[in-house]
Amino acid sequence: MTQNFNLFADRVLLNTEELDGYQIGPASLSIQGNHITAAKPMTREAWENTAPSLDITAIDLGDQLVTPAFINGHTHLSMVMFRGLDNSGMAMARNVVEDLYFKVESQLSSEDIYAFSRVGAYENLLHGVGTVWDHYYSGVAVADAIYDAGLTGVVAPTLQDVGGPGVASLEPQWRATLAIHENTKYEKHGITAAWGPHATDTVSDALWKRIAAASQEYDIPIHAHVAQSVEEYTFNMEQHQRSPVERLQHLGVLAQAQHMLLVHGIYINLEDLKRLDPKQHTLGFCPYSQLQYAFPANILAWAEAEMPWLLATDCAASNDSMNVQKEMRFVHGMRVAGATWASAYETFRQSGTPAHAKNIQKVRTQSFHKTEAIADTRFLLSRVWSVPGRMHNKLQVGSLAPGHRANLVVWDPDHPSMWPCIDPLRTLALADSTPAITGMMINGAWIGERDNFAHSLRHNDGYRKALQEPNQRLQVLIKN
């Protein structure tokens, strides 16, 4: 049933005219059905004079902070079941995708994937994430899990024809992509599709060309892993005499894609960056995941090339968290991490002299100033709000603006994890503040109970039922 109401709070985060600019102040939001229809700065006095005359429900949130819900721009919800599976960590020393994930994933049914994805969806909700970009097998099962949990999202059913568990299901997953794209129930709820080629070493030239043409024909973006491992890079160089990005350019994929999200990009070189178009391509950075299975990509090079990029968690198999706030904090910390591995630091460790101590401090200071742009809190927040929020023309999210989905989070600024909330943007980017969430709205409907958000979400019948089935299915998988 369509709901129409107005919200007011003394601290509402709205976009300024400047791209990715944000301002916080008293404002009202008009919400009709799934969308925001108006977002107006307004004094409390003006609100109190206006609210009694409204012919729809008026909700006053007082001094609480209202922001857009976060966007997790690349994840695999179902892979929460992998958390702790590689308890020795030895698989991470090799190609964990091929050596571990593919072996387990070949045993998964669509019912398994639905059950595990539900749990992953709840974890995202508890971290203030309202939209996910998921890339996995059994795409309709993932879409159903997102729908049933209450999230909005973009689902990319995994497409493979050279290697991986999806080779045998290529045509069914192709049809699943179109089914999700055309499903009116999903569309109304804010769930849509992306083409999901797995990676450049598991997808043939013929399939890449087919996907590129379909992206144009159906106006559907492409979501793929690109240049994520040394094995993928050397495969392309040895089999195709081109880097992964150069090969995609040669095949016409980069030019034809309605939009393309290229995730990880660890092995993207400087010439590759020149091949990408900031208006048509977005890079995906999952730092904690990359720390586990490889090493972090060079986002400074991305920034210097003026390429847009987003922050995401990847999956619990390679990160163990769906908290995008951690990813922002990691990027902020990258400003000075290089000093630890600088030759000047090793010289100091050998000598212990004050002069060499001062040298390493100089290295740290130079790095601090050189990376100032990527550590700006507004910049970091745009990586989980506006940058991923504008990648799909069928799903406007990441901003409290007219025409966007009514996906928002209400925060208690007096909660210990946010107090003192002197600079709310810095707190949101660098603190572990999700315990301060008092309410969450997706598609204009409250998720759980307002003022009792986390407890109500975890202790309702929906979550208990969502947890019982995956527990049983996981035990069967472990035995097999």
Rounded to a whole number of angstroms, the CA Rg of the chain reads 23
Please give the Cα distance from 303 to 318 (Å, whole number): 25
User: At CA 430, angle to CA 413 and CA 265, rounded to 5?
Assistant: 140
Q: Is pLDDT above 50 for 92?
A: yes
Look at residue 419 and give its three-state secondary structure. coil
CATH of the domain at 221: 3.20.20.140
Q: What's residue 1's pLDDT?
A: 47
Q: Do 209 and 188 lie in a common domain?
A: yes
Number of neighbouring beta carbons within 10 Å of residue 207: 19
Question: Is residue 60 helix, strand or coil?
Answer: strand
The domain of 416 spans 4-69+398-447
HSE (side-chain half, CA atoms, 13 Å) at 166: 25
**Rounded Cα–Cα distance for residues 132 and 457 (Å):** 18
Residue pLDDT, tens place only, 318-340: 889 999 999 999 999 988 888 99
Q: What is the pLDDT of residues 197-230, one digit of tens each?
A: 999 999 999 999 999 999 999 999 999 999 999 9
431, two tokens? 């603190």
Same domain, 218 and 162: yes
Alpha helices (H) along 315-353 = 324-337, 343-351
Of 345, 346, 283, 274, which is closest to residue 311 (Cα–Cα)? 283
149 touches 134 (CB < 8 A): no
Reply yes or no on whether the pLDDT at 2 is more than 90.
Answer: no
Whether the CB-CB separation of 226 and 248 falls below 8 Å is answered with yes
Residue 452 in any domain: the answer is no
The amino acid at residue 130 is G
* pLDDT tens track for 388-436: 999 999 999 999 999 999 999 999 999 999 999 999 999 999 999 999 9
Choosing from 330, 346, 381, the residue where a domain stops is 330
Distances (CA, A) of 419 to 325, 431, 433: 17, 10, 10
**Are 231 and 295 in a shared domain?**
yes
> Other CB atoms closer than 10 Å to residue 35's CB: what's the count?
17
pLDDT in tens, 350-381: 999 999 999 999 999 999 998 888 889 999 99
Q: What is the greatest pairwise CA distance in the chain? A: 75
Angstrom CA distances, 62 to 24, 255, 276, 290, 406, stand at: 14, 49, 45, 41, 19
Q: Cis peptide leading into 388, omega within 30 of 0?
A: no
Q: Residue 96 — very low, low, confident or very high, per pLDDT cuts 50/70/90?
A: low
DSSP string covering 78-125: GGGGGTTTSTT-GGGGS-HIIIIIHHHHTT--HHHHHHHHHHHHHHHH
Q: Tell me, what DSSP letter sits at residue 69? A: P
Q: For 399, what's the count of Cα atoms within 13 Å in the CB-facing half-sphere? A: 26
Considering the domain architecture, whether residues 91 and 200 belong to the same structural domain is answered as yes
**Shared-domain flag, residues 123 and 16:** no
> Residue 421 sits in a domain of what CATH number?
2.30.40.10
- Is 65 within the bounds of a domain? yes
Q: Check whether residue 37 and residue 145 sit in a common domain.
A: no
Q: Could you read off the pLDDT of 218-263 as tens digits, one per residue? A: 999 999 999 999 999 999 999 999 999 999 999 999 999 999 999 9
Residue 335 belongs to a domain: no
HSE of 239, CA atoms in CB hemisphere, 13 A: 15
Residue 293: per-residue pLDDT: 86
pLDDT at 82: 84
> For residues 20 and 388, what is the distance between their CA atoms, to the nearest angstrom?
12
Q: Which residue, 274, 307, 330, sits at the end of a domain?
A: 330
pLDDT for residue 281: 98
Cα distance between residue 55 and residue 33, in whole Å: 15
Residue 366 included in any domain: no
In a domain, 353, yes or no: no
Whether the Cβ atoms of residue 144 and residue 155 lie closer than 8 Å to each other: no
State the alpha helices, DSSP H only, in 242-376.
244-250, 253-256, 270-275, 287-293, 299-304, 324-337, 343-351, 354-370, 372-375
Given this model, what pLDDT does residue 83 score?
86
In a domain, 480, yes or no: no
pLDDT at 460: 82
Q: What is the per-residue pLDDT across 458-471, written as a single tens digit (0 to 9) for each?
A: 988 878 877 888 88
Judgement on whether residues 221 and 296 belong to the same structural domain of the protein: yes
Sign of CA dihedral 353, 357, 362, 367: positive
The total number of structural domains in the chain stands at 2
Is residue 362 in some structural domain?
Answer: no
Buried b (16+ CB within 10 A) or exposed e, 81-92: bbbebbeeeebb
Clarify whether residues 189 and 287 are in a common domain.
Answer: yes
Residues 110 and 236 in one domain: yes
3-state secondary structure of 176: helix
Q: Does one domain contain both 152 and 223?
A: yes
166: its two tokens: 């999806």
Residues with Cβ < 8 Å from 264, sequence gap 6 or more? 225, 226, 227, 228, 284, 285, 286, 290, 294, 297
Interacting residues of 167 by C-beta distance below 8 A, sequence separation 6+: 160, 161
**Has residue 351 been placed in a domain?**
no
How confident is the model at residue 141, as a pLDDT?
Answer: 98
Are 94 and 65 in a shared domain? Answer: no
Q: Kindly report the average pLDDT of the chain as a whole number.
A: 93
The answer on 180 and 47 residing in a single domain is no
**Nearest alpha carbon to residue 225 among 265, 253, 256, 255:** 265
User: Which residue among 276, 304, 330 closes a domain?
Assistant: 330
* Residue whose entry in the numeric block shows the structure tokens 């192709």: 174
The percent of residues in the chain predicted with pLDDT above 70, rounded, is 95
Q: Average pLDDT for residues 33-42, to the nearest whole number?
A: 95
Q: Which residues pair with 440 in a beta bridge?
A: 409
